[in-house]
Structure 1
Amino acid sequence: MTTKNSASLTYRDAGVDIDAGEALVDRIKPLAAKTMRAGVMAGIGGFGALFEVPKRFKEPVLVSGTDGVGTKLRLAFEWQRHDTVGVDLVAMSVNDILVQGAEPLFFLDYFACGKLSVDTAASVVGGIARGCELAGCALIGGETAEMPGMYPDGEYDLAGFAVGAVEKSLIIDGKSIAEGDVVLGLASSGAHSNGFSLLRKILTHANARPTQELDGRQLVDVVMEPTRIYVKSVMAALQAHGSAIKGLAHITGGGLLDNVPRILQPGLAAELHRDAWQLPELFQWLQQNGGVADAEMHRVFNCGIGMVIVVPADQADAVEATLAQQGEQVSRIGRIVARAADAPQTVVI
């Protein structure tokens, strides 16, 4: 109830536009509809989204993952490239749960901003929907939060949440990895969504312009190339080769040096050979313009390898062929060796 001399304030006066939020939901619904799959019982628009675990799973174990896009968003703001970061958001979570053998089932997103731009948000969510299509999972819900005063105009933050399922007997945990196994590397699509604090510093140091050419493309296109989603190709390899795939590592923050050890037992190490794959032009440019040491490159960036797969030596050719048929660029980048006391678990030689 208002008093005689008081103004009648609205939520819009406080900086929150309910109509814009409703308009965004209307824009999102057809995008989400393209991602629907078996199991979705209730999606966008409800208080909660319902999903039934497919009955083909006998002993389903749910696997969940959450992540963001990191400071790659700063370049999205500066360069006005909002249509690819949504793919990054999905990729970072679905690739993470994939390494345990899980099939991504559904995805939820969180989009927070100070003032909601329906066009910008719809562009971001369009990328999220595209990422879900690539991963074969459903975009069944999320949250859009307009919070005046929390974010500068034109900026936003993203978080994503993926849930998948794997048969209990088929969980991949790396425990069967043994000395002599082969390490396969699947090519990345670029820097993915990691190391961007250093990447942005190098861009500034080099006075780089988004329109300058790198590797036959504009720098903005190379840098903002979305994270590759490996779900469908790796799931095909798992279906074809089963237990031959002993371990999977998603090469994210920490690069090759910190992520591969996460799937190795204490007495083992991965010996990787730098001449086994071509360092992409982007990473050569970053190293040269930033004067970055090799060890730092391998610990910060994926350096051209976005997913690592460990297989027995006698089955490496077959697994590699299946992955190549699925469109992956595969390199045999190293082998598993016995680890000496106090030696690192991953070395690049």
Structure 2
Amino acid sequence: MSAKLQFAAQLEMIAKASYCGAPPSPSESEQLLLAAAGDEQLMATAQVILGHSWQHLSEHLKAQQAFLAGIQGFKAMQCKKEQTETLILLGFSHLLSHQPMLALDDWSEALKIARLLKNRKLCARIYMGIGQVYIGFGDHQAALGFNELALELARKLGSDHLKCEVLLNVASDAYRLKRFSYALQCLAEAEKLLQQSVINPIWSAEIIYYLGAVHAEQKQFAQAKIELETAFTLCDQNENMWGKAHALTALAEVLLVLNDVAAGERLQQALNLALQAGIKELQNRCHTGLIQWHIAQHHYELAMPSFNALLQNEERHTFKISAKHRQRILQLQTQSRMKLL
């Protein structure tokens, strides 16, 4: 095998690991990009790896720049499947950076190509993305409907990896709708797949996080504390910013209920992570918890910064879905259901 073919095979393995939650550091990815110079397709693959590296650290703008460069490279080389896969990644990055309209644009374009390719796996991943947009709109029932559509497709395709990913999405929707038995059922099925055929450290930690979140809602606080501590440790070991922020916020809230002396410190640590990751929802939860903590300690003046922060966050601009994008969602939903008939 030539050196070029060996490098291409190496890049492919790294790209797969990156998608499964284990990307190299940004500096390592940039070295791969330098090594790929001169070959447009290899450079596009290296850009995707770089995008994963930045996304892993919640550096959304840098991730989007890398994914966009990858899309342009694949498009120039007529690699339509890879172009579509990267468009999906770009959409998720836009969603994570609170740009749902841009995400819908990305996925609409991706869906057109996926259907031309007759690639139902890519279509299912796009349906998951649209479900995430509905979460942003606060319509959790509609989000569940799209993710169940993706799960139905994943089961027909027989892809354990896709099935596991969709099961986690369905579980998170069921959790938000307080359908806890359904959430636990999906988590158990996903966990079984991770024990058998699927390897993804982020998903493994996410299962434990949602178990803890469900048990906290069911007031099984001692069990939830152990699970959320474990989820945070796993996310920390994997340097996953999103996972660390969510797990630590939920853990701090459980410690607050238990009147644990570490609650205040954990809430502040969680707030710092939420600020670093730019996750407003978690910031608000941490500020609310800190207010409760400081009042319980009779340190009323220490609660004032969190009061002020909550007021500022309430005044932030909330996006409204435009008529154009509402129509696009309805079209995607109708076309998606027709596809399964």
TM-score (norm 2): 0.23
Higher helix share: 2
Higher strand share: 1
Max radius of gyration: which structure? 1
Structure of greater relative contact order (alpha carbons < 8 Å, 6+ residues apart): 1
TM-score (norm 1): 0.23
